[in-house]
Structure 1
Amino acid sequence: MRALQYRTVGSAPELVDIPTPVPGPGEVLLRVTAAGVCHSDQFIMDLPEEQYIYGLPLTLGHEGAGTVESWGAGVTGLQVGDSMLVYGPWGCGRCYTCAQGHENYCEVAAAQGIAPPGLGAPGAMAEFILVDDPRHLVPLGDLDPVASVSLTDAGLTPYHAIKQSLPKLVPGSTAVVIGVGGLGHVGVQILQALSAATIIAIDTSEQKRALALDVGADHVLAPGEEAEAQIRTLTGGKGATAVFDFVGAPVTTGFASRVVAIGGDIAIVGVGVGTVDVGFFSTPWDAQARAPYWGSRAELMEVVELARVGKIHVEYEQFSLSDGPTAYERLRAGTLRGRAVIVPEGATS
């Protein structure tokens, strides 16, 4: 089968031919119908050799959708052709956090060598993907896999981050979204669907600020000192009830610290190297900062239902598997509208 792989540290991903995997006991093989491109992929491919821990060659793609092709011994309840999304943050399924459904916070995954597809295990940017357990599949039903595949991260990750702050996002509250890219533009929609908050979106790109307005933001701002003053004006001097930073760079986490309100939340969702200093003289009273990671399988089901009823959608541009390297070039250049989705030639939904 053909696959898009990261093969050499510091080099661009390459399209190669590799053997089609055969499912062993408990495993499921999907024929890939779509795979999403993510900044996390670019982040790991930008790591220097001494920091790179994901194995080579690595088939990319932690956002995956496909139809059931076959399965190994012990798997029941599936039919060939079932359309599925792949739940990405694989855990052991047995530890305390996994027992609560939060495999994204599995206590032993790293120690046991369990890695997400595309982030250690072979990912979905191929004609087939091997899924380690049927519990990591979420039925897609009649939703279009190309339009829906990025719900597995670009939908799930902001949903998980926002859901934790919903008790504070009451009428009169304000939510600030920093970065209106692949995750941020879905975050705006989730805030609109689930909360009564006024939504302020911030991005350096005029096109992405326009996208934010298209998907439901109440106000859009370019970053900088004027934006800080404008947020204070829009909130009557109080600041933001919750700030969702989908960039995670030092400049954005610093901005978040300066605009958050007393008792407010800061969620650093982006995979930059920015941090937030929480302390007596660095943040408002009782402000909280957290770094949420991905989301639970149950939350992915909830995200799919939001999409099914038309409350959220992912803006995307489609690329063939052969054009996968071009998709990553566009990602780095910042010229994508929403998400890039890669579809193997000949794939059908």
Structure 2
Amino acid sequence: MPTLLRFSAPRVVEVIDVPAPALLPGQVRVRTLYSGISAGTELTAYRGTNPYLTRQWDPDIRLFRDGAPESPGYPLDGWGYSEVGEIIETAPDVGAAVSVGDTVWGIWGHRGEAVLPVEAVAGHQLPTGLDPLAAAFVRVGAVALNGVLAADLGVGSTVAIFGQGVIGLLATRFAVLNGATVIAIDAIEGRRNRALAWGAAHALEPGADVALRIRELTGGQGTDTAIELSGNYAALRDAVRTVGADGTVVAAGFYQGDAASLRLGDEFHHNRVQILASQIGSVPNRLRARWDVPRLQRTVVDTLAKGAIDTTSLVTHRYRLEDAPAAYEMLDVDPAAALQVVLDFS
């Protein structure tokens, strides 16, 4: 019987058995090989801070309303969005889009197997020679690339990237591949060292003087742009202070609670700083005629296949699904202990 990860309550993780769903026309069955844990979005569900658990989202007018959410909260089943698996069964009408034995990447959550519409995995076959573990980074790589595209980086540009977790490191690497000079900021020395190894020109600790230090590194000008990926309001404040006059800050972190650390009457106001939200639901406005989320993901896959980014080196911990509660506890109480945690079903 297939297994599934469930958040039963804040900080309570269970692994349960679920019936195997029947395969309907137009569907395929995928056996999971790897599933990456998001230390950002998923921990908001694990901790109970995700806004979908505390407020009402109105999709028609795209606003959160005060009050208890209309949809039920816990238990939350099958969170996760960085999966890789093998197709083990196809409905007779699926055709040649996919075949039994194909290794595909996609989004179906932390579960041993999934039944999906063929459209969810068609075109998601791994290129020959690409390690399936590397493909567990396609979605987070798209998040990183989206932020880099929003920052409009290129040769001669300078960017400060706050947060050098998995997505921050991927953003650093994409920015370097785009020709930008990267100043990486993170509190963890190992992550700063990885950023330098992936091409960052400088790697700094956060703190009260980080904006001043960056002014010194840039001849007093500040950076052209900053990308904030930690989801920390203090880091967003520092990102605003880091860019020069008329600079742009790409806010790509998943921020929780009230923004008590922001001081919008200071550099934000006096330097006319623009803050752009970057979220994987869409690409930057100026690119929508040519780019979409599938293109972001294809670009990540192509970059991995060419060997320009070694995502497998980011994996620091592998857990079997039955040991997932320990993985979430570690990420919750000791985030510096891990970089990428993967659930291994292989």
Structure 1 residue 7: Cα displacement? 3.8
SS of equivalent to 1:251: helix
Structure 1 residue 215: Cα displacement? 2.0
Paired with 2:228 and 2:163, the residues of 1 have a C-alpha distance of 7
Q: Which residue of 2 aligns with 1:59?
A: 78
2:4 paired with 1:19: no
Please give the per-residue CA displacement for 1:196-245, whole angstroms capped at 9, x wherever unaligned.
22111111112221222222211111111221111001111111112111
Number of equivalenced pairs? 306
Q: Which residue of 2 aligns with 1:84?
A: 104
2:299 partner letter: E
Paired with 2:117 and 2:4, the residues of 1 have a C-alpha distance of 20
Structure 1 residue 82: Cα displacement? 0.7
Residues 1:320 and 1:233: Cα distance change in structure 2 (over 3 Å): same
Structure 1 residue 259: Cα displacement? 1.0
SS of equivalent to 1:6: strand
Please give the per-residue CA displacement for 1:97-142, whole angstroms capped at 9, x wherever unaligned.
xxxxxxxxxxxxxxxxxxxx4xxxxx1x221023244245422123
Residues 1:226 and 1:285: Cα distance change in structure 2 (over 3 Å): closer
Tell me, yes or no, if the aligned pair for 1:158 and 1:186 is still in contact at 8 Å: yes
Paired with 1:323 and 1:307, the residues of 2 have a C-alpha distance of 29
Residues 1:326 and 1:280: Cα distance change in structure 2 (over 3 Å): closer
SS of equivalent to 2:255: coil
Tell me, yes or no, if the aligned pair for 2:26 and 2:117 is still in contact at 8 Å: yes
1:341 partner letter: V
TM-score (normalised: structure 2): 0.80
Q: Which residue of 2 aligns with 1:176?
A: 160
Structure 1 residue 287: Cα displacement? 3.3
In the TM superposition, 1:112-191 aligns within 5 A as 117=108, 123=109, 125-137=110-122, 138-142=124-128, 143-153=130-140, 155-166=141-152, 168-171=153-156, 173-191=157-175
1:78 partner letter: V
Identity percentage over the alignment? Answer: 24
In the TM superposition, 1:259-298 aligns within 5 A as 259-273=242-256, 282-283=268-269, 285=271, 287-294=273-280, 296-298=293-295
Q: Which residue of 2 aligns with 1:255?
A: 238
1:58 partner letter: D
1:27 partner letter: Q
| Structure 2 unaligned residues grouped into runs of 5+ | 56-68, 283-292
Structure 1 residue 285: Cα displacement? 4.9
Q: Which residue of 1 aligns with 2:336?
A: 335
2:274 partner letter: Q
2:310 paired with 1:313: yes
1:327 partner letter: A
Tell me, yes or no, if the aligned pair for 1:245 and 1:252 is still in contact at 8 Å: yes
Q: RMSD across aligned C-alpha pairs, in angstroms?
A: 2.4
2:287 paired with 1:300: no
Paired with 2:252 and 2:24, the residues of 1 have a C-alpha distance of 35
Tell me, yes or no, if the aligned pair for 2:9 and 2:74 is still in contact at 8 Å: no
